[in-house]
Structure 1
C-alpha cells in the first residue's frame, strides 16, 4: 500500500500542470485503471487517484463525464479546487463546435480556440510542448557534455557556443598534462621563486600525503603553484 501511494504521488508530481504528460495518461487509457484503484478503501490512495483523474477529465470528453458521475462527485468532495479550475468543462468549445453548423459559429469557435486563456482546451497540441522541452534538454547536453568530434558541422557548433557553456573537462590526467603558459615575468625571475618557495621550504611529504592531514598553508607552496 505504501509503495502504491508513493507511485501515485510521483505520477502526480510528473504530470501536474504539464499538459503533454497529462495527454499521455489519456492516450494510454489510464482512466479505467485508476477507476478500479478507487475500489481500495484507503483515503490517501483514493485522494491521489482522484487527483490524477481530475487532471485528465477535460480531455476525456463529455460522454465520459456523463457516464462517470460518481467519480465526478468524488472529485468534487475530496480534491481541493481552485477559483479558476476548468477541469469539468475544459473542452466546452469542442462541444459547441460540433453543434454549430453556420459559418459565423465556426469563426467564433476558432477565435476562442486561438485565445491564450483556452490553450489547454486544445489537446491535439500536446506534442509541441514536449518537443520543445526535449530540444532544450538536447541543447543543454550538447553544450555541457558532448565530446569533441572530427565532424566539421560539430566543430562549427562548438565554435559558435558561448565560452560559459563550453564542455567541462573533469579528467585529472588531462588537466595535469595540460601545457601551462608561464608569463615572461615569471620566466625572468623563476630562480627567485625556486629559492623562496622550493629550496627554502621544508615540506613534510609524509604528513602531506597522509589522508586527512591539515598542513599549514606556508608549506604547500610547491603544490599550490602547480595546482593553481
Structure 2
C-alpha cells in the first residue's frame, strides 16, 4: 500500500481563531499600508485570499457598498456587502493602486512586465509580510496564515450572535444536507448586518486591547 511506503499522512493543520488581543496587535502592526489594508479586507469580508489578490476594480462597486466575486474553482459567484469601514479601506487601496485594473497590483516591475504590464500581487506577498512582522517584532500573536482570518471571522461571528447559516454564507460555504438543496436564499440582508456587526467589532479591537492588557500584549500593572 502507498501508506506503507510513504508513511502515515501528516495531520491536517487545525485552523485557529485569533483572540481579541491578537486582533488588536495585528490591526496595529507596523506594515506597508497595502499589506495592512489587504489584511483588514480579508478580515472584514471573510473572502479567500485568492479572491482578493486577483480582484479587479470593475467588480468593486463602492457606491453600492458591494463587491462582486466571480465564480471560480474554489466557489460560486457571490456579492459581498461591504461595511462602511471596509468601503473606506477599499477607497484607500483605490488611491494606492493608481491606474491599475487590480485592487492589489503587482509591486515588482518585472512581474508586471511578464504579464503584459499590469497584473495582481503575488499570492504569497501578504503571507510573507505577516511572517516578517511575527519574526521581527515578536508580538504575542500565534503564527497564522491569511486563511486563518476566515476561521477567525467565523468563530467571532458566532460569539457575536450571528446564526450559523448566516456565518457560513458569509464565507461562501454551501449549506449542508437537505437545507442546502432547498434553501436558495442568498442571505444578502442578513450577511450585510452580520458583516456590519463584525466590522464594528474589528474597529473596537483595533482601538483598544482587552482590559488589563497593554498595546504590546503585556499585562498592565495598576497601582494599589
Pairwise same-fold verdict (TM > 0.5): no
Bigger proportion of residues as strand: 2
Q: What TM bracket, shorter-length normalisation?
A: under 0.3
With the length of structure 1 as denominator, give the TM-score of the two structures.
Answer: 0.24
TM score, norm. by length of structure 2: 0.24
Between structure 1 and structure 2, the one with the greater Rg is: 1
Say which structure is richer in helix.
1
